[in-house]
Amino acid sequence: MTDVHSKEIRSKNMRAISTQQTAIEKQLAGLLTECGIPFRTQDASLAGKPDFVLDSHRCIIFTHGCFWHRHHCYLFKMPATRREFWLNKLESNVTRDQRHITSLVTLGWRVLVIWECSLRWKKKLTPEAITERLEEWIYSGACHAEIDTQGIHQLDL
């Protein structure tokens, strides 16, 4: 099946997708501010240019879109067109994410991934639930975890 848009229109549409100050980043920034947790954003000196850096806790937080980072949830759907392109693109994103996380952990950072599905759409967690899980992780000392619609999951590298 061919794309419904011309190559030029598709390129324009893809360039318009924001990589910073996204809705989920703004929402999480508000929750961190409400908790009184100081943070920096988009630190290009760190692997992966983390969305949030919590220096006082030596924590990194990434907010991942479920499509772009291939989360296995109800929000992810593989495009029907240009399937091979999308498989390669999304797999390279996942591989790059893992490389960045490993690099940060090696440098002594603790890394949390908050998935878009936990913050948006019909199955999202309440702001209170996100805040509770966020604080639980920050103070737990766990090295690497993810928050999605099912809650918080500690992960091994």
Q: Is 33 helix (H, G, I), strand (E, B) or coil?
A: helix
The active-site residue out of 64, 97, 148, 149 is 97
CA–CA separation, 106 vs 19, rounded Å?
Answer: 25
The active-site residue out of 2, 3, 41, 69 is 69
Q: Residue 156 catalytic? A: no
Residue 134 CB coordination number (10 Å): 22
Q: Residue 100 catalytic? A: no
CA–CA separation, 134 vs 112, rounded Å?
Answer: 9
Q: Residue 71 catalytic? A: no
Q: Residue 51 catalytic? A: yes
Of 115, 112, 114, the closest CA to residue 144 belongs to: 112
The active-site residue out of 63, 71, 100, 144 is 63
CA–CA separation, 3 vs 145, rounded Å?
Answer: 37
The active-site residue out of 2, 19, 33, 51 is 51
- Active site (catalytic) residues: 51, 63, 69, 97
